[in-house]
Amino acid sequence: MPLLVMKFGGTSVADLDRIRNAAQKVKAEVARGYDVIVIVSAMSGKTNQLVGWVNETSPLYDAREYDAVVSSGENVTAGLMALTLQEMDVPARSWQGWQVPIQTTSQHGAARFVDIPRANLDAKFAEGFKVAVIAGFQGVSAEGRITTLGRGGSDTTAVAFAAAFDAERCDIYTDVDGIYTTDPRITSKARKLDKISFEEMLELASLGAKVLQTRSVELAMRYKVRLRVLSSFDDTNDQSGTLVCDEDEIMESKVVSGVAYSREEAKLTLVTVEDRPGIAAAIFGPLSEAGVNVDMIVQNISEQNYKGREKPVTDMTFSCPVEQVARARKALETARDAGSISYDALEIDEDAAKVSVVGIGMRSHAGVAARMFRALAEEGVNIKVIATSEIKISVLIDRKYMELAVQALHDAFELDKAG
């Protein structure tokens, strides 16, 4: 039988009524002739509650016990989903991660997949079961301990099962009906895309779009798993959603497919760093070890070079999430105290936002940057930092102009128009 993977996020299984609604969608796919693997998240809000209980009980918790507690939310949902399907006369069975078994590394709280053996589930499908309901977000280590996969773990679980079982498709059900050209809350002109390439989706996810997690898209791109994003709340039988697929499946792409943003960004500048081989490694090595996610990087000739210095110096600017500024400052000060780097000052701007345009069409079209910068200039938006890749241009701007910038770029590239 053809096999389909369906994943339901926390809002899609938030209560018993929503679980019944999700189960109806699973039953419809079984009626179409599919065997179905269903991946479920914890009911909305439950994981946060469980994490809160762990922190209240033991602020310096044992990571193995943390995983044992927070993984239980998905176990509850899986059992309830299987029971609901059984009440609908659909042969279903729930599976916890260790029962499959979903084999992972031993990095508790951020485990990665090692293998998903097919034998146990294949045997159940052969017995006549039509649906296997899998608790997402979890697995088991070589030591036999429950592990969790970190943020976006259920999405990643769904893609991993689709790859392991050669699924026809992996459907991700969430509270939106697809991938949009930008956040509809910022501009009413945002348009739902019929298709988007893996590469574009990966860029959008990494730049702040929250519909799909980056790890799941990376995995889908590696194993060519076709993803479809759908709304679990749409009862109109519109099953189109947005297909995330290989670039070859898209006949003709617009130059820009979407505008992404990240609101809470900070800009840090090390003033008058010694300009010598290895200085970048000396700066960004400690930041990496401290877990700081550095994004944009710009190195400039410092004006101090013209003030009689014997050795050339440079200014190094980079961006990171605002929540990581304290960690970045400590890492840099520790490196300076250790003598591995020196600088006159660390300037920090915590009032920045990142806005990006993404599109595989950029590869074959010139003038995208000029068009982007012109649109921002016409709105009086000053650019602090610029970063580019083959299919992306990102700018760092003052946070108060973020929504204006998104709207201006959406209009400039006519993203409200199809084709």
Q: Is the dihedral of CA 23, 28, 30, 34 positive or negative?
A: negative
Name the DSSP letter for residue 337.
Answer: H
pLDDT digits (tens, 9 = 90+) for 316-365: 999 999 999 999 999 999 999 999 999 999 999 999 999 999 998 888 78
pTM of the complete model: 0.82
How many helices and strands (H and E) does the chain possess? Answer: 12, 18
Sign of the CA dihedral 245, 248, 253, 259?
positive
Report which residue type is found at 207: L
Asked if residue 80 has pLDDT above 90, the reply is yes
At residue 398, does pLDDT exceed 90?
yes
* 164-180 mean pLDDT: 91
CA atoms in the 13 A half-sphere facing the CB of 25: 29
252 — pLDDT class (breaks 50, 70, 90): low
If one compares 366 and 112, the residue with the highest pLDDT of the two is 112
Beta-bridge mates of residue 196 = 244
Q: What pLDDT was estimated at residue 296? A: 92
What pLDDT score was predicted for residue 209?
Answer: 67
pLDDT at 238: 55
- Residue 390 is predicted with a pLDDT of 87
- Would strands 3-8 and 35-40 be described as parallel, antiparallel, or unpaired? parallel
Given a cut of 60, whether residue 228 has pLDDT beyond it is: yes
Structure tokens at 266: 């900070």
Q: Are 169 and 228 in contact (CB under 8 A)?
A: yes
pLDDT score at 205: 82
Tens of pLDDT, residue by residue over 56-79, are 999 889 999 999 999 999 999 999
Residue 170: in which H helix or E strand, if any? strand 169-174
Q: Is 182 helix (H, G, I), strand (E, B) or coil?
A: coil
pLDDT for residue 308 is more than 70: no
Confidence of residue 419 (pLDDT cuts 50, 70, 90): low
pLDDT (0 to 100) of residue 103: 97
Residue partners of 313: CB distance under 8 A and separation at least 6: 272, 273, 274, 275, 302, 304, 305
What is the token pair recorded at 325? 């500024």
Question: Strand pairing of 138-140 and 92-95?
Answer: unpaired
State residue 267's pLDDT score: 96
> Own/partner pairs for 305-314, CB < 8 Å, 24+ apart?
311/274, 311/275, 311/276, 312/274, 312/275, 313/272, 313/273, 313/274, 313/275, 314/272, 314/273, 314/274, 314/275, 314/279
Q: Which of 32, 30, 33, 50 is nearest to 41 (CA)?
A: 50
Q: Is the separation of the CB atoms in 207 and 358 below 8 Å?
A: yes
Report the SS3 class of residue 121: helix
d(CA 159, CA 270): 41
The half-sphere exposure of 267 on its side-chain side, counting CA atoms within 13 A, is: 20
- Check whether 139 has a pLDDT greater than 80: yes
State how far the Cα of 352 lies from the Cα of 386, in Å rounded to an integer: 13
